[in-house]
Amino acid sequence: MLLIVGTGQGSLAGRAYGLILRRVKTARKQSKRGVKLAQNVFRRVRQAEKSLFFRLRDSETGRKLLKVAGLAGSPKDMRHRAQAAAPYLARLSNHGATIDQAKGYALLSPDALGDFSDVLASCRELFARKKADIDAQLTGFDGWTPEQQQKFLTRKQSFLRYLLDDDDLRRHPELVSFALDDAMLGSATRYLGMVPYLTRIDLMYSLPRSGGKNIESQLFHLDHEGLTQIKHFIHLFDVGVHEGPFTFIPADATSRIVRDVRALRKRQKSGQDIELRRYSDEEIAAVGGTEDIVTVTGPVGTGVAVDTSRCLHLGSRVDPGSFRLCLYTQYCTTHEITNVYDVDRFKDDPVKYLAVKDSVIPGRERATAYYDEITN
């Protein structure tokens, strides 16, 4: 006898088919939940790793432990850079600014910068061209929809622009030469204890941001790069209180303030993540940190060399009708996101070449991948 099995909903085959579909859908949902769970676990692990890193970095003992770990990770490069530093510093005639090891900064005067006149002229020329482009972009802001205005004002570019790219540096090699001048590189090398990576050269243009609370780098924060680093902020126009001057807290006071704010947040159970590295003015004041604040004002050619990994800092709180323009250089002890330089120019100078030799396209891609990993 031949049994005919129908395919309708009420048939055996139809019920089996529906059961298979339901199980497939269930398995798919479970798979998605598993992926989300795995992603969530991974994010928590990475967050825990970052929290541990920053907690260790906030203390002298922790920095020593991390330095040992970094040396174990890339012993040849770090030893080479440390060994190259001693004879380089010994032969310098212009040592530049002396950066206080405990406080992590030195105020800059024009006589500590070496030959600055040509650099100043180039920076102002570049600024005039870049500013015209920015002004054109912002034309008609008042005519934007409220949603467009609000979206723009929540972005860092609403108050701070980095103006240079790699092509600008190739067209103006004097900027790279200035950053590698003994007065600049020597000062950073002495403080860092090694020939550092020259990571960034840029023009920082701070402009007024209308409405709302301070955001991003307008709040006190610590930079994520490495254990220690040096950034120079050099005024290209006179800077007073209205121009949103660079403002910071010395490293020794920062250590105490970060520790005390962490304890304050725990007591208040605010849910604020200490490792986000953003600290409100109210929190700084609550732990007695206001009296430690240093504000960097002054004429053209003045500024500050500061370890932004160790010193809480902020900037770009610019009043309407004003702006601030700084030449910005960054020297790191670890390989970070970098400009791409014409490194072959410096092959005849072992120290300068060491400072820039990794600033090539493959190195930039590796640094970008690393940055994406630690910030996601």
Average pLDDT, the chain: 82
CA distance 241 to 322: 10
pLDDT for 43 beyond 70: no
Per-residue pLDDT tens for 168-223?
Answer: 999 999 999 999 999 999 999 999 999 999 999 999 999 887 766 776 778 899 99
58-375 is a CATH 3.40.190.10 domain: no
Spatial CB neighbours of 351, under 8 Å, sequence gap ≥ 6: 84, 88, 185, 195
Q: Tell me the H-state helices in 74-144.
A: 75-90, 117-138
Per-residue pLDDT tens for 274-322?
Answer: 555 789 999 999 999 999 999 999 999 999 999 999 999 998 799 999 9
Closest CA to 173 of 352, 351, 361: 352
pLDDT at residue 67 in the model:
61
SS3 180: coil
pLDDT for 14 beyond 50: yes
pTM for the full model?
0.78
pLDDT at residue 374 in the model:
47
Burial of 121 (0-12, 13-18, 19+ CB in 10 A): exposed
Burial of 358 (0-12, 13-18, 19+ CB in 10 A): buried
Q: Tell me the H-state helices in 222-334.
A: 251-268, 281-286
Residue-range domain boundaries for the chain = 58-375
pLDDT at residue 33 in the model:
64
DSSP H or E stretch at residue 159:
none
* Contact criterion met (CB below 8 Å) for 86 and 289: no
